[in-house]
Every structure is written in structure tokens, then in C-alpha cells.
Amino acid sequence: MLGRAEHLSDQPGRRWKHMALFALGQKKMFKKPIPAVLHLFIYVSFVIVNVEMLEIVIDGVTGQHRFFAPYLGGFYTFIISVIELLAVLALLATFAFLWRRNVMKLKRLNQPELKGWPFKDANFILIMEIILVCAILTMNATDFRLQQLGAPHYPETGNLLIAQYTSNLFLGMSADTLIIIERTAWWLHIIGILFFLNYIPYSKHLHIILAFPNSYYVRFIENGKMDNMPVIMNEVKTMLDPAAVVEPITNPPKSFGAKDVTDLTWKHLMDAYSCTECGRCTAACPANITGKLLSPRKIMMDTRDRLEEVALNIKTKGADFNDNKSLLGDYISVEEIRACTTCNACVEECPVDINPLSIILELRRYAIMEQSDAPQEWNVMFNNMENNQAPWQFNPADRMKWVDEMN
């Protein structure tokens, strides 16, 4: 809500289709097949397990157990078996992600911007997922064992795909002990889910929710196309041709580019909150690969961190409070934004349609047009563009000389 206006509501049919492919279908994820398949296991499990979660809540409210079992019969056995299979796959995927992050130490998962809280947050979520999945599997295994012992309150579910084997871990235990374990796993799972739901807004896993609107409100522009500012275009046109026809600007901007988060649009800010911190953008960035300071992931994380700081200032000190800090300078350096080659690799790689380049361009515009802060090489090019209509320092009248030389 702190961002500037930006109209992104056209072509609703195309937007729904795009969201279905990229947010729900995770189309871009499969550019890297191994993490894509592992993520798919967790993603599908997260969605489907909520079917059993619904039953767990009904059981808790009504005091019954396996509420749907008597009504669904063999289909119930199939559903719970599928859920168990997905839970096992999610468990394996989670261990694989922990291994990649902490043992293999993949570069994109161990870069400077992830040190501290971001790294701990990612590991904490993975550990939480292990606990939740193990709780489900333990609950089903002890439940199945209690059915075999004929314990009251535990209706028949049939031979569950995983539980019929994992229940062997609890052979020899009394019914009372099994009930304690089953109840503990039941409570651990439901409390864990409720905790996780409250934790999401404080974590990078907010992308679970925001990936969908962020993909819906994508900018439908050609790859590599950059937005010009109409007021600047008018000035350039009249400079090159005093007789040029220009469209009047009804609401000219008060400043050029962006210095702080409030100068960015609401879509830029949604991008920042949608970031999964996966690092695919940074891994593909040629500037970062060659050792320069720029990391597109850091651009998004810094934008989000600054936005959080601004929000806290408004909440605690009022909307007019000025902390004399800004996104450009205090969070993102000029050296970082100058390193960008505007190649769009980061935009192309992002699985949730984030555009770090558009933020970089807005910060550049401010640095150059408001602060006159550009390297000497850029200023030479700007002067040549203004005087010669080309980046090179030669007379426009000589532009076609090479043709005569060829002849």
C-alpha cells in the first residue's frame, strides 16, 4: 500500500492462465529438474495433506476419530495411503534440501546476503516440515497398530500403504502406550500447523501465498523491453526536433526514478515480499558470476528489509517521521546498481515472476537524473547520444561514410 500506482489488471484471461502455469504449475521451476522434483514432492504434499488436516480438525471438534472412514470405506484407505506416500516423498525431499544447503553448501544457497537470519529461517522451515511429516506418519502407524489390537475409538482404515509397515516399529507396546504416542503425534501435528500458519508472514515462506497474486499481476512486456518515462521522451523529441509532436503529460512525476521504497510501485513491493530467496536470479547474473557486488536476490531482500523498517517507523513514530535513511545508499549501493548489465537473466530465471531489474533501473534513474551520479564513461556516452544521436563521438553527417568506403 506504500507503493506508487501501477495498472496491471488488463487481459484477465491471460493472467489467470499465466498464474495457473507459473504459480500453480511451477513451470519455471523445471529449468532445474532435480530441485524442481524435490520441491514438487513438498509442494504437492503440503496441499494434499490438508485433506487429512481437515479430518484432524473435525475429529478434534467432535471428539470422534477418523470421521470420514465409515463413509468412504476403501476410498478412504486409498486417500490416506496417497497422503502417506506424499509424506514420505516430502520427508526425503526435505532431507535432500537440508543436505544441499548445509553439507554440499551449494553456492547460491550460501552467499553473503543469506548469512544470519535468512539462513536460519530456511533451515528452521525444513526442520519444521520434518517434524510435521514425522508426526503424520507416527500418528498413522500407531493408529494402525491400535486397530490391530482392537482398541476402542480406532475404526478400521484398511491396510494403509506406509502404516502397515511402519506400525511394526511399535510391536510389543501396550495399547495405553500407543494411545499416548498417537495423541502426542496428533497434537504435535495440529499445533505445528497452527504455529506454521502464524510464522509464514515473518518468513520467506510468505511466497506460498504471494506467488499466486504476483504471477497474476505480471508485467506482460517483451523480453528486454524497458519502460521509458513519457516526460523525458517528450524532452528528447523536442530537443532532436523542435517541431516534433508530443503528448501532454497530465501528472508529471515529482522526481525521476526511486530513492526509497515509497518511490517504487506496489508491484515492486509485492515482488519483494514474494521472493523465495532461492538465488536462481543471482546464480544466472553475469555481474555476480564475475565477482561484482550485484546480487539480484539481495536487491529484493534489501527492498523488503527497508520496507519493513519504513512500516515500523510509520507504526511507532507516525507517517511523517523521517529516519534520514533510504533504499539507495543505506541498503543498496551505487556500485551494485552500476554493475547490472540489464541482460534480464534474473527476470527470466525467477520462478515467481519477480523483476529485480525494474527496481535496479528505477534506482539508476534517481542516481543519474536526480543526483547526477554517473561514471565518467557513461557521461561521455550520454553527451554523444545528445549531440551525435549515437554512443560514439563522430559527426552524424559522417554516419554513412563507410558505405562510400565499401564502394
Convert the pLDDT of each residue in 275-303 to its tens digit: 999 999 999 999 999 999 999 999 999 99
Would you kindly state where each structural domain of the chain is located, as residue ranges?
12-215, 258-374, 376-407
Cβ(86)–Cβ(107) below 8 Å: no
Q: What is the pLDDT of residue 392?
A: 86
Task: Provide the grid cell at 70.
Answer: 465409515
Q: What is the CATH number of domain 258-374?
A: 1.10.1060
Q: What is the pLDDT of residue 31?
A: 85
Containing 320, the helix (H) or strand (E) segment is none
Q: What is the pLDDT of residue 103?
A: 94
Q: What is the pLDDT of residue 245?
A: 83
Low-confidence ranges of the chain (pLDDT < 70): none
The b-or-e profile of 281-295 (16+ CB within 10 A means b, else e) is bbbbbebbeeebebb
Task: Provide the grid cell at 50.
Answer: 490438508
CB atoms under 10 Å from CB of 52, counted, come to: 19
C-alpha closest to that of 192 among 332, 70, 46: 46
Q: How far apart are CA 87 and CA 48, in angstroms?
A: 9
Sequence-separated contacts (24+) of 166-174 with Cβ below 8 Å: 166/137, 166/138, 166/140, 166/141, 167/141, 167/142, 169/141, 170/141, 170/142, 170/145, 171/145, 173/145
Q: What is the pLDDT of residue 232?
A: 83
Q: How far apart are CA 392 and CA 81, in angstroms?
A: 69
Helical H segments across 318-375, by residue range? 334-339, 345-349, 356-365
Q: Would you put residue 116 in left (φ > 0), alpha (ψ -120 to 50) or beta?
A: left
Cβ(208)–Cβ(47) below 8 Å: no
Cβ(64)–Cβ(26) below 8 Å: no
* pLDDT digit string, tens, across residues 124-142: 999 999 999 999 999 999 9
Q: What is the pLDDT of residue 128?
A: 92
In angstroms, how far is CA 290 from the centroid of its own chain?
25
Q: How far apart are CA 83 and CA 75, in angstroms?
A: 12
Q: Would you put residue 345 in left (φ > 0), alpha (ψ -120 to 50) or beta?
A: alpha
Q: How far apart are CA 407 and CA 397, in angstroms?
A: 18
